[in-house]
Amino acid sequence: MIEFIKQPWHWSIAGIMIGLTVPILLLIGNKTFGISSSLRHICAACFPANLSYFNYNWRKEIWNLFFVFGVLLGGIITNQFLSNPNDIIINENTIRDLKALGVTDFSNLMPSDIFSVDNIFTLKGLIFFVIGGFLVGFGTRYAGGCTSGHSIMGLSNLQLPSLIATICFMVGGFAMTNLILPYIFKLF
């Protein structure tokens, strides 16, 4: 059984479980699914700086922080007990394309060429961690939600604004991957 769980899970299993998060959160506490709000609550709790955007009762939304702390614990538990012993299997064409860009490590979930502590104070670190993270935080707040709040919760509730947001997420991602990333990789 445990060996079975350790294998990478099929997309349909993950899709069903993620989809079920929507009714589960609604029914156990009238909570609307969304994760990027947690970043806002952290700002509101730690450094509100008298900004009206962070001046609200974040304690009422504390469930969201419990939830994301759970996601972090889920990562730790998987690493300790359920980790896949084999290399990740990704599409050959993706490997070929990324090799051409200079990625050499294809063993784990993230390439160590980029996501290693040694890169923190390098140009790579600046782009992939600092700028990338900033765009994620700024963009999700500006859009009023992320993949969970808009693409899953919003689309589940048939919200047109969420469809527009989701299309824009995808357009941004396609543009970065296919148009901008090749130039970024030339910098290293």
Partner 1 sequence: MNNIEKQKIEEFVCDAPNNQVASESFVSNLKYLFVGIVFGIVFIKAEIVSWFRIQEMFRLQSFHMYGVIGTAVVVGMISVQIIKRFKIKTISGESVVIPKKPFNKGQIYGGLIFGLGWAITGACPGPLFAQIGYGFLVVGVTFLSAIAGTWVYGALQSKLPH
CA atoms of 45 and 57, how far apart (whole Å): 9
Per CB under 8 A, does 124 bind partner 1? no
Per CB under 8 A, does 135 bind partner 1? yes
Helix (H) or strand (E) holding 158: none
- Based on CB atoms, which residue is closest to partner 1, 53 or 188? 53
CA atoms of 85 and 3, how far apart (whole Å): 10
Per CB under 8 A, does 185 bind partner 1? no
CB of 103 to partner 1, least distance (A): 9
> Binding partner 1 by CB under 8 A: which of 86, 171, 183, 186?
171
CA atoms of 39 and 20, how far apart (whole Å): 23
Q: According to CB under 8 A, which residues from 34 to 93 bind partner 1?
A: 34-40, 42-43, 47, 49, 51-56, 60-64, 66-79, 82, 84, 88, 90-91, 93
Per CB under 8 A, does 100 bind partner 1? no
| Rg of the chain (C-alpha set) | 19
CB of 26 to partner 1, least distance (A): 5
CA atoms of 139 and 103, how far apart (whole Å): 27
